[in-house]
Homo-oligomer: A and B are copies of this chain.
Amino acid sequence: MFDPVEKLKEFIRHPSVSADPKFKEGMQGAQKFVADLLGSMGFAVEVVKTDLHPIIFAQRGGDPKWPHVVIYGHYDVQPADPLNLWKTPAFEPTIIGNRIYGRGAADNKGPLMTNIAAVAQLLEENPKLPLRITFLVEGEEEMGSPSFPKFLESHKDRLKEADFVYLSDTALPSQEQVVITCGLRGLALFDVHVTGAKGDLHSGMHGGAFRNPIQALAEIISTLHTPEGKVNVPGFYDGVLDVHPWERDELRKLGASEEEYKKFLGVDTFYTTPGYSPFESLRFQPTLEFNGIGGGYQGEGTKTVIPSKAFTKISCRLVPNQKPDQIKKLVMDAIIARTPKGVKVEFVDQHKGEPYVVVPPDRSNTPKDQSPVLARAFRATDQVVTEVWGRPPLYLREGGSVPIIADIKQVTGLDSIMFGLFLPEDNLHAPNEGFNLDVMKKGITTTKRVLQAVAKT
């Protein structure tokens, strides 16, 4: 059996920055490293070519009656810039105390290695374990997984026969409190462009005769929320999934302080969907946010121009069961209806992502047809986490979006158990990324025992 920490160091040494073509060698090295490691564990490894970075599809087959778990992870990392802010070399793993530092240590090489090591130990101890396992390790997660939907389509028949997906690519609030993420928000993004006069014009010669597109855009934007904090678009909330009392209870158990959160944000008051606390609002309610705005002169000093154009970039975070395309249409229709005379409005469509939810067993809203293997995996996770970490996990929906989880559900029908391992201090996507080796150790034990429990049919 290999040493998980030594293997993780080796993994981090491959500088696998997917977004930067200069790191081609690092990407190939990391991909080969994972493929070889899984091969050495007896997996049938396929390296599936995509338009960009290959996906590793490695299987341990067996009796079709055995349960089948898909373990997801990614071998690519974020760029390490700005390098001058790193205290240790970004691609030379360095252990200080109980932490290992290096780009990708937490996102996602450490957590992925945790789950690979758990499987390796389990199979070494019980080579005849009645469990089919598929590792699905992609190399484009940090780029938004552009090749993933195509891969899902081409492999859906082989994935459909699995029971559930297991992954560690979400957060761990503290070593005292594990969270199983059971919902993610979706996304609907587009830009709004408003045009007034056909060119920029002198505000002295022409000001006072026609409508300024900045004013028109501001008037449109100002209609899209109520003063109380709701999105003011007819039909926007129609599909929104109810929040169940158990969900609010779980969130309350997280014990986050509103005063601390205000300090963190640097604001003196919240602005949430009415009837929801800020923590509830950002996990259970949809949003319509403006990510950027621009138009006219933005430099130092002044330029007395009436600009021809202004734009804003809108992103909606969606909750189950809102549909991104439908929400885009509702918001665009509202904007068109509210565009004042004298300007033209146009849209540039951007991407989208479906929201996702999975309900653990034994809840008021657990689907009656939930797969018994998924239910067993959830129950096992609950019990093992309680034993290993000293407290039951919390089942929480998150405010963020991981579109591939919803894509997997949509294409293959598989739900995901998201067992988070990033601590708040792990500096994901930032300099001095690190991963806690105690978390790794407990994570290995947890995953191992969960899979063992799933295997027992």
Q: Which residues of A pack against B, CB within 8 Å?
A: 185, 187, 189, 196-199, 201-212, 214-215, 217-222, 224-225, 227, 261, 265-273, 278-279, 281-282, 285-287, 289-298, 301-307, 310-313, 315, 317, 340-343, 350-351, 398-401
Asked whether, in the complex, the Cβ of A278 is within 8 Å of the Cβ of B317, the reply is no
> A207 and B289 in contact (CB under 8 A), knowing A197-B267, A342-B271?
yes
> What 13 additional pairs, Cβ within 8 angstroms, besides A207-B399, A208-B286, A296-B313?
A203-B287, A203-B315, A204-B398, A208-B272, A214-B293, A215-B221, A215-B222, A217-B218, A218-B218, A222-B222, A292-B303, A302-B351, A303-B313
Tell me, in angstroms, the Cα distance from A455 to B382 when the chains sit together: 103
Q: How far is the CB of A399 from chain B (nearest CB, A)?
A: 5
Q: Which residues of B contact A267 (CB under 8 A)?
A: 196-197, 210-211, 342-343
Name A401's contact: one of B204, B210, B291, B294 (CB within 8 Å). Answer: B204
> A302 and B266 in contact (CB under 8 A), knowing A207-B317, A208-B273, A293-B214?
no
Asked whether, in the complex, the Cβ of B269 is within 8 Å of the Cβ of A342, the reply is yes
Q: Which residues of B contact A219 (CB under 8 A)?
A: 218, 221-222
Q: How far is the CB of A220 from chain B (nearest CB, A)?
A: 8
Closest to A284 in B: B208
Asked whether, in the complex, the Cβ of A271 is within 8 Å of the Cβ of B222, the reply is no
Asked whether, in the complex, the Cβ of B215 is within 8 Å of the Cβ of A225, the reply is yes
Q: How far is the CB of A199 from chain B (nearest CB, A)?
A: 8
Asked whether, in the complex, the Cβ of A261 is within 8 Å of the Cβ of B295, the reply is no
Asked whether, in the complex, the Cβ of B217 is within 8 Å of the Cβ of A281, the reply is no
Tell me, in angstroms, the Cα distance from A303 to B214 when the chains sit together: 21
Tell me, in angstroms, the Cα distance from A217 to B281 when the chains sit together: 22
Asked whether, in the complex, the Cβ of B399 is within 8 Å of the Cβ of A205, the reply is yes
> A304 and B293 in contact (CB under 8 A), knowing A217-B218, A281-B209, A399-B205?
no
> 18 A–B contact pairs at CB < 8 A?
A203-B287, A203-B289, A205-B282, A205-B400, A208-B278, A208-B282, A210-B265, A210-B278, A211-B271, A214-B290, A215-B290, A218-B219, A290-B296, A292-B297, A292-B307, A293-B298, A301-B350, A302-B351
Q: How far is the CB of A155 from chain B (nearest CB, A)?
A: 27
Tell me, in angstroms, the Cα distance from A399 to B317 when the chains sit together: 46
Tell me, in angstroms, the Cα distance from A218 to B293 when the chains sit together: 10
Tell me, in angstroms, the Cα distance from A311 to B293 when the chains sit together: 9
Q: Which residues of B contact A187 (CB under 8 A)?
A: 304
Q: Which residues of B contact A343 (CB under 8 A)?
A: 267
Q: Which residues of B contact A294 (CB under 8 A)?
A: 293-295, 298
Asked whether, in the complex, the Cβ of A212 is within 8 Å of the Cβ of B317, the reply is no
Tell me, in angstroms, the Cα distance from A310 to B225 when the chains sit together: 18
Q: How far is the CB of A270 from chain B (nearest CB, A)?
A: 6
Tell me, in angstroms, the Cα distance from A265 to B204 when the chains sit together: 14
> A204 and B221 in contact (CB under 8 A), knowing A212-B289, A290-B212?
no
Name A202's contact: one of B217, B271, B400 (CB within 8 Å). Answer: B400
Closest to A297 in B: B292
Q: Which residues of B contact A342 (CB under 8 A)?
A: 267-271
Tell me, in angstroms, the Cα distance from A351 to B303 when the chains sit together: 11
Closest to A298 in B: B294
Tell me, in angstroms, the Cα distance from A270 to B343 when the chains sit together: 10
Q: Which residues of B contact A211 (CB under 8 A)?
A: 267, 269, 271
Tell me, in angstroms, the Cα distance from A304 to B189 when the chains sit together: 9
Q: How far is the CB of A13 from chain B (nearest CB, A)?
A: 29
> A303 and B281 in contact (CB under 8 A), knowing A204-B399, A205-B399?
no
Closest to A191 in B: B302
Tell me, in angstroms, the Cα distance from A214 to B214 when the chains sit together: 12
Asked whether, in the complex, the Cβ of A302 is within 8 Å of the Cβ of B189, the reply is yes
